Amino acid sequence: MDFVGSHILSIDQFDRSDIEKIFAVADRMEPYALRRKKTRVLEGAILGNMFFEPSTRTRLSFGAAFNLLGGQVRETTGFASSALVKGESLFDTARVISGYSDIICMRHPESGSVAEFSQASRVPVINGGDGSNEHPTQALLDLYTIKRELVDRGAGIDGLKIAMIGDLKYGRTVHSLSQLLGLYKDVEIYLVSPKELRMPDYIEERLRKAGHRLVVTESLEEGINNAQIVYSTRIQEERFKSTEEADLYRGRFRINQAIYTANCQPNTVIMHPLPRDSRAEANELDGDLDANPNLAIFRQADNGVLVRMALFALILKVDHLLEKYEREVSWFTRK
Amino acid sequence: MDFVGSHILSIDQFDRSDIEKIFAVADRMEPYALRRKKTRVLEGAILGNMFFEPSTRTRLSFGAAFNLLGGQVRETTGFASSALVKGESLFDTARVISGYSDIICMRHPESGSVAEFSQASRVPVINGGDGSNEHPTQALLDLYTIKRELVDRGAGIDGLKIAMIGDLKYGRTVHSLSQLLGLYKDVEIYLVSPKELRMPDYIEERLRKAGHRLVVTESLEEGINNAQIVYSTRIQEERFKSTEEADLYRGRFRINQAIYTANCQPNTVIMHPLPRDSRAEANELDGDLDANPNLAIFRQADNGVLVRMALFALILKVDHLLEKYEREVSWFTRK
Amino acid sequence: MDFVGSHILSIDQFDRSDIEKIFAVADRMEPYALRRKKTRVLEGAILGNMFFEPSTRTRLSFGAAFNLLGGQVRETTGFASSALVKGESLFDTARVISGYSDIICMRHPESGSVAEFSQASRVPVINGGDGSNEHPTQALLDLYTIKRELVDRGAGIDGLKIAMIGDLKYGRTVHSLSQLLGLYKDVEIYLVSPKELRMPDYIEERLRKAGHRLVVTESLEEGINNAQIVYSTRIQEERFKSTEEADLYRGRFRINQAIYTANCQPNTVIMHPLPRDSRAEANELDGDLDANPNLAIFRQADNGVLVRMALFALILKVDHLLEKYEREVSWFTRK
Residue of chain A nearest B61, judged by CA positions: A100
**pLDDT, averaged across chain C:** 94
Residues of chain C above pLDDT 90, percent: 85
A85 touches chain B (CB under 8 A): no
C79 touches chain A (CB under 8 A): no
Q: Is C86 a catalytic residue?
A: yes
Q: What is the DSSP letter of B157?
A: S
DSSP string, A65-127: HHHHTT-EEEEEE-STTSGGGGT--HHHHHHHHGGG-SEEEEEESSTTHHHHHHHH-SS-EEE
pLDDT beyond 80 at B272: yes
Catalytic annotation, pick one of B7, B38, B107, B234: B107
CATH no., domain B11-134+304-327? 3.40.50.1370
Give, in order, the Cα–Cα distances in Å from C101 to each of A46, A60, A71.
Answer: 19, 9, 14
Band of residue B279 on the pLDDT scale cut at 50, 70, 90: confident
Residue of chain A nearest B69, judged by CA positions: A44
Report the CATH fold assignment for A11-135+301-327. Answer: Rossmann fold (3.40.50)
Contacts of C63 in chain B (CB under 8 A): 74, 100
Instruction: Mean pLDDT check: name the lowest of B194-198, C61-65, C207-211.
Output: B194-198
pLDDT beyond 90 at B65: yes
Q: Is C38 a catalytic residue?
A: no
Phi, psi of A234 (to 5 degrees): -85, 145
Query: Which of C3, C96, C123 is the mutation pick for testing A, counting most A CBs within 10 A?
Result: C96
Chains with 3 or more CB pairs under 8 A to chain B: A, C
The ranges of chain A with pLDDT < 50 are none
Cα of C70 vs its chain's centroid, Å: 23
Q: Write the residue in B59, B305, B331 that is nearest to A45 by C-beta.
A: B331
Degrees, nearest 5: CA angle A264-A268-A273: 110
Contacts of B48 in chain C (CB under 8 A): 60
State the count of interchain CB pairs (< 8 A) between B and C.
104
- How many beta carbons lie within 10 A of that of residue A2, not counting itself? 9
Mean local confidence (pLDDT), C165-184: 95
Contacts of C332 in chain B (CB under 8 A): 4-5, 315-318
Model pLDDT, residue B85:
66
Mean local confidence (pLDDT), B238-242: 80
Reported as a single tens digit per residue, the pLDDT across C240-255 is: 788 888 887 778 899 9
Catalytic annotation, pick one of C7, C38, C39, C58: C58
Contacts of B74 in chain C (CB under 8 A): 60, 63-64, 67, 73
Q: Write the residue in B44, B81, B122 that is nearest to C54 by C-beta.
A: B81
Model pLDDT, residue A96:
96
- For chain A, give every domain's residue range: 11-135+301-327, 137-298
Model pLDDT, residue A80:
57
CATH of A137-298, one of 1.10.10.60, 1.10.268.10, 3.40.50.1370, 3.20.20.70: 3.40.50.1370
- Minimal CA separation from B297 to chain A, in Å: 9
Q: Is B148 a catalytic residue?
A: no
State the count of interchain CB pairs (< 8 A) between A and B.
105
Residues of chain B above pLDDT 90, percent: 85
Q: What is the DSSP letter of A41?
A: T
Reported as a single tens digit per residue, the pLDDT across B248-259 is: 777 889 999 999
Reported as a single tens digit per residue, the pLDDT across B310-324 is: 999 999 999 999 999
Query: Which of B60, B235, B300, B308 is the mutation pick for testing A, counting most A CBs within 10 A?
Result: B60
Reported as a single tens digit per residue, the pLDDT across C1-43 is: 999 999 999 999 999 999 999 999 999 999 999 999 999 999 9
Which C residues in the span 276-335 are in contact with B, Cβ-Cβ below 8 Å? 276-279, 282, 287, 290, 297-298, 301-302, 305, 327, 329-335
Model pLDDT, residue B19:
98
Q: Please indicate whether, in this complex, the C-beta atoms of C68 and B46 are within 8 angstroms of each other.
A: yes
C-beta separation of A296 from A271 below 8 A: yes
Which residues of A are tagged catalytic?
57-58, 86, 107, 135
Backbone Cα Rg of chain B: 20
Q: Is A185 left (phi over 0), alpha (psi -120 to 50) or beta?
A: beta
Phi, psi of A48 (to 5 degrees): -90, 105
Residue of chain B nearest A324, judged by CA positions: B330
Tell me if C11-134+304-327 shares its fold with C137-298: yes
Model pLDDT, residue A62:
98
Model pLDDT, residue C80:
58
Residues of chain B above pLDDT 70, percent: 98
Mean local confidence (pLDDT), C209-219: 97
Residue of chain C nearest A64, judged by CA positions: C100
Reported as a single tens digit per residue, the pLDDT across B179-197 is: 999 999 999 999 999 998 9
C-beta separation of B254 from B167 below 8 A: no
Pairing of strands A213-217, A229-232: unpaired
| C-alpha span between A107 and B153 (Å, rounded) | 40
Mean local confidence (pLDDT), B23-47: 98
pLDDT beyond 60 at B81: no
Contacts of A99 in chain B (CB under 8 A): 33, 298, 301-302, 305
